[in-house]
């Protein structure tokens, strides 16, 4: 005779508990997903930062028609310095994944 419980047992048994290994695997995945998400956000920010810098350079170039030869050069240098600072901050990134959950 096959009641629901025996059918279920034939399809797959419930695991023995507790299984600490499973919990650690879950934590590892939480950490990996947090790292992936942070990397994605950093990458997006980098693209936005460099796109912004490129846009600024183009605007400076456009403005240089009226303001002499030295203006665009200074503007470009300033924009490059700014984008470098932004890129450095972005690449350095936030604290290690899960570090925020460590007790103080």
The closest alpha carbon to 26, from 18, 42, 43, belongs to 18
Residue 9 or 48: which CB sits closer to another protein? 9
To the nearest whole angstrom, how small is the minimum distance from the Cβ of residue 98 to another protein?
7
Q: Which two tokens stand for residue 73?
A: 């050069």
Quick check: 96 and 32 in contact, CB under 8 A? Answer: no
Quick check: 59 and 71 in contact, CB under 8 A? Answer: no
Residue 88 or 102: which CB sits closer to another protein? 102
Residue 23 or 43: which CB sits closer to another protein? 23
> Which residues in this chain contact another protein in the complex, by CB under 8 A?
1-19, 22-23, 25-27, 29-30, 33, 98, 100-101
């Amino acid at each position: 005779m096959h009641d629901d419980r025996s059918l279920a047992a034939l399809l797959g048994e419930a695991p023995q508990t507790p299984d600490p290994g499973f919990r650690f695997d879950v934590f590892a995945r939480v950490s990996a997903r947090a790292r992936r998400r942070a990397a994605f956000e950093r990458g997006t920010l980098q693209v936005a930062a460099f796109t912004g810098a490129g846009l600024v350079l183009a605007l400076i170039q456009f403005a240089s028609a009226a303001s002499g030869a030295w203006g665009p050069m200074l503007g470009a240098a300033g924009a490059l310095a700014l984008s470098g600072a932004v890129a450095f901050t972005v690449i350095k990134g936030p604290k290690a994944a899960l570090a925020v959950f460590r007790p103080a």
